Amino acid sequence: MSLRFDHAIILVHDLDLAIAQYRAKGFNAFFGGKHADGKTHNALIVFADGSYLELLAPTSSELLKGIDLNDRTSFLFLLTQGEGLGGYALLSDGLEADVEAMQRLGLGVVLSSPNGRARPDGQQIRWRTAALDDGTMTPFFIQDQTPRVLRVPDEPSVTAQPNGVTGVARLEIGVPELADGVRDYEMMTGLSVEQGANQAQFTLNGVEFVIKANTATTVRGQLLDVQLKASSSETISLNKLMAN
């Protein structure tokens, strides 16, 4: 597999408000643009290690009424979960080959139609995704069709965070049954996952993934927390940072 961590999704109802809230916590959040379907737009918080957080919101509050859970042509269905962590993406350099490899191992994963968004400067960016066949986004898989730097700017003025955060250190993921979760992640990554009594873990391109048995989790996988790297070499819980 050619996979590595790309970004985590944070679901919000009001994008302008969320940008202000994250800026107040020392993040350099900026408007990313509107997705091709016009139903969602986003803001990005890009880190020096190339990873980022995506604040994802509906373009109108009216769109939150009567969302079709079976409609996967946009990200709008995610917002039925309410606000909070909504999933994460793994970046692929060869999406079709990676999907075929997962399918050969027995994982149900399907390619989606190309998607994209328009940046505020008018630049059109495109990508292709794939997702688990149960519709969860923990994770989904993405490959850029335009240069990634157009989707994820890398200028120091963008990636420098006033609060000192430099990247993503660890993801904590809840699964209903640990053994099933371990099997899924081994099929996704081709890696051997180290399993303990109540959790398992593996490292993918420098990011640690911790899979936890969580009886409150009813879906196949749920992103519980994102641990961030700080310039002081400590890690910071995104959940705790935003709660304080």
117, 35 Cβ separation under 8 angstroms: yes
Q: What CATH class is the domain 163-243? A: alpha beta
Q: b or e along 136-153 (b: 16 or more beta carbons within 10 Å of the residue's beta carbon)?
A: bbbbbbbbbeeebeebbb
Which residues make Cβ contacts (< 8 Å) with residue 240, sequence separation at least 6? Answer: none
Return the number of other C-beta atoms located less than 10 Å from residue 55's C-beta.
25
The structure tokens listed for 53 are: 């957080």
Amino acid at position 54, single letter: E
pLDDT in the model for residue 113: 87
Domain 4-157 has CATH 1.25.60.10: no
Q: Where are the domains of the chain?
A: 4-157, 163-243
40, 115 Cβ separation under 8 angstroms: no
One pLDDT digit (tens) per residue for the chain, 244 residues = 689 999 999 999 999 999 999 999 999 999 999 999 899 999 999 999 999 999 999 999 999 888 887 777 778 888 888 899 999 999 999 999 999 999 999 999 999 889 999 999 999 999 999 999 887 788 999 999 999 999 999 999 999 999 999 999 999 999 999 999 999 999 999 999 999 888 999 999 999 999 999 877 777 789 999 999 997 778 999 999 999 8
Asked whether this chain's domains 4-157 and 163-243 adopt the same fold, the reply is yes
pLDDT in the model for residue 43: 98
Q: How far apart are CA 46 and CA 133, in angstroms?
A: 29
Return the number of other C-beta atoms located less than 10 Å from residue 176's C-beta.
16
